[in-house]
Structure 1
Amino acid sequence: MTFSSAQERKIAKFEHAIARLGRPACRGQRYAIYNLDCIDGMSAMPNGCVDLTVTSPPYNIGKEYETKLPLLDYLDWSVEWIDAVYNATADSGSFWLNVGYIDIPGRARALPLPYLLWDKTEFFLIQEVVWNYGAGVAGKTFLSPRNEKLLWYVKNQNKYTFNLDDIRDPDVKYPNQKKNGKLRCNTIGKNPSDVWQIAKVTSGARRSSIERTAHPAQFPLDLVDRVVKGFSNVDDIVLDPFMGSGTTAVSCLRNGRFAIGFELKSEYCQIASTRLRELENDMFLDFRADV
């Protein structure tokens, strides 16, 4: 296989970044996942090497993969790892942060974490996206929660990637409506807006998602695909500091990006490794079938 000079530069950039990090827990041609604390890992990476970061950190609610901290300590830790993302991000790069809710005894039952985190960074905030999903906690004394937030940050507000045509929603209500003889809507589809209706990864004997793994808080592939396709380019480097079950790397492999991830729990690294190796095998078989 031959590569263009631009592709060779991207490959060299990826290889240089992962060479600084040592031996990965799992590695493919386009991904490397490290069983490392993300702050330690990002501090070893070259500044400005990442084109997009998409991640969902622990929410500090006592899940099995986190140690619950006092709120101020959690916010200080968040500032530390977000600063490390900023240093690793290219001038034209973006940062997508998915966070949920916390309770503050005596003050709030479900406070959205973006209210506490949005301004704790040098990144420029473009907008908040509401992720609406169908399944979740059933409320009896409150409205059933059915959304989380994503914050879209950029390093340079005048220069960033936004591939709207790659993420347009084809479900247009009046696709043939015209004005002065011209179609009123884009023939590819409509802007998906800042409210995204994407199903959660569910569990349970009767409603478990096809993509479900043993990870208790798994990113939906449809959600990550939209971010990866819309806010990075082919052969860009995508970072996930909290890789979990590997969904970000799966999306990158499917969409022709490079992925670097960090994950503290070795069992989650193994889940990610299995998913990625199975995908690589499927992609190889598809390639063979097309030749």
Structure 2
Amino acid sequence: MLQVTSPKIIPTATFHKGDVLSVLRKLPKTKFDLIVTSPPYNIGKIYERSEKLTFEEYVEWLDKIIGASVDALQDHGSICWQVGSFVKDGEIFPIDIYTYDSFKRRGMKLRNRIIWRFNFGLHSKKRLSGRYETILWFTKSDDHRFNLDAVRVPQLYPGKRHPKARAKDSGKPSGNPLGKNPSDYWEFSAEEYFQNDPVWDIPNVKANHPEKTIHPCQFPVELVERCVLALTDPGDTVLDPFMGTGTTAIAAMKHSRHAVGIDKDGAFLKIAKERVKQLLKGTLKIRHSGKPTRTPQIGEKVATVPEEWKQATKRRR
């Protein structure tokens, strides 16, 4: 069974199928404590092909979604806007830059621009390969929630002490015993999550990100968990306007928060509902938050330079 952080709270999940703007506008205003989402990037993924937009139309569409999302947010609430880049003819258009003003015009305040770094991404030949995306954390007011202790990570140097020059604290441990602030640079092993804890056995994993259900752009549960733990309290409600296969709902319910999701794709929502059922039964495989990234050991096949590469290197010399 699901072990939640607050046993007295029974977390719920509600999913809505339909156009994101239409559904958002029908939902009660100022209901949600946190909105975590990753909108489509308008780069031709399977869920984007029914409606082709120019980049200008796309940015205008995102502006409307941002407006409806801000309207649906509690005064103490936060929005975590996880985005990458739109790419056209080899040129990069960072979506966070093009949507920042949409939040700012509505009075939202940017608290962090978080870098999410991952091991594998789009391989490029005419520019450097992309290996990170961003999460913009906005708040509606200064009276927002931030639970640092819930997301602290282990100290790198737990034995470090204050120098003698600091008379008051001289010789005392300089760090926090609960751990350090995870900062605005986050790194998770999506590859290990996919290889060792696959949630769905999908034969045609063809997109660039290795962690997959059938959804071509899925982020790890751990990424959302950190947002949920830091920015909400047990019993709060978390919304994802682009729910996909339910990652946000899983992260929220795992920690005694309620979840609401929207998606126009019935197949994705069907998977999301099934994953939630497995979570409640305790059968859903999830990579544990904070699990160290595995490094290949010397002698392992994946860490051994192929003979073909050795020969190619010799020829270049």
- For normalisation by structure 1, the TM-score amounts to 0.82
Partners of 1:203 and 1:95 in 2: CA distance: 25
Question: Structure 1 residues 57 and 209, CA, compared in 2 at 3 Å: closer, same or farther?
Answer: farther
Does the 8 A contact of 2:119 with 2:191 survive in 1? no
2:70 to 86, 107, 118: 86
Report the equivalent of 1:253: 253
Which structure 1 residue ranges, 5 or more long, are not aligned? 1-6, 12-27, 284-291
Does the 8 A contact of 1:54 with 1:97 survive in 2? yes
Report the equivalent of 2:190: 200
Are 1:266 and 2:266 matched, yes or no?
A: yes
Partners of 1:55 and 1:209 in 2: CA distance: 23
Does the 8 A contact of 2:11 with 2:257 survive in 1? no
Are 1:169 and 2:160 matched, yes or no?
A: no
When structure 1 is superposed on structure 2, of 113-122 and 55-64 the one drifting more is 113-122
Report the equivalent of 1:145: 130
Instruction: Return structure 1 stretches of 4+ with deviation > 4 angstroms.
Output: 201-204
1:57-82 CA-partner distances (Å, limit 9, x unpaired): 10011100113311111111101111
Q: 1:159 corresponds to which letter in structure 2?
A: D
Pairing of 1:109-188 with structure 2 (within 5 A): 109-121=91-103, 122=106, 123-156=108-141, 158-170=142-154, 172-179=155-162, 180-188=170-178
Question: Structure 1 residues 134 and 81, CA, compared in 2 at 3 Å: closer, same or farther?
Answer: same
Report the equivalent of 1:224: 224
Question: Structure 1 residues 78 and 162, CA, compared in 2 at 3 Å: closer, same or farther?
Answer: same
Q: What RMSD in Å do the two structures reach over aligned CA positions?
A: 2.3
Q: 1:200 corresponds to which letter in structure 2?
A: A
Q: 2:124 corresponds to which letter in structure 1?
A: G
Q: 2:47 corresponds to which letter in structure 1?
A: Y
Does the 8 A contact of 1:99 with 1:113 survive in 2? yes
Report the equivalent of 1:43: 25
- For normalisation by structure 2, the TM-score amounts to 0.75
Identity of aligned residues (%): 35
Q: 1:164 corresponds to which letter in structure 2?
A: L
Partners of 1:143 and 1:261 in 2: CA distance: 35
When structure 1 is superposed on structure 2, of 84-93 and 123-132 the one drifting more is 123-132
Q: Which has the larger radius of gyration?
A: 2
When structure 1 is superposed on structure 2, of 263-272 and 28-37 the one drifting more is 28-37
CA shift, 1:29, in A, is 5.4
Q: Secondary structure at the match of 2:46?
A: coil
Does the 8 A contact of 1:201 with 1:220 survive in 2? no
1:199-228 CA-partner distances (Å, limit 9, x unpaired): 336899xx4762431111112111011111
Does the 8 A contact of 1:135 with 1:199 survive in 2? no
Partners of 1:101 and 1:199 in 2: CA distance: 21
CA shift, 1:127, in A, is 2.1
Partners of 1:272 and 1:47 in 2: CA distance: 24
Q: 2:19 corresponds to which letter in structure 1?
A: D
CA shift, 1:45, in A, is 1.7
Question: Structure 1 residues 192 and 34, CA, compared in 2 at 3 Å: closer, same or farther?
Answer: same
Partners of 1:96 and 1:242 in 2: CA distance: 12
Partners of 1:52 and 1:282 in 2: CA distance: 25
CA shift, 1:141, in A, is 2.3
Are 1:70 and 2:54 matched, yes or no?
A: yes
Question: Structure 1 residues 279 and 48, CA, compared in 2 at 3 Å: closer, same or farther?
Answer: same
Partners of 1:224 and 1:41 in 2: CA distance: 22
Does the 8 A contact of 1:177 with 1:183 survive in 2? yes
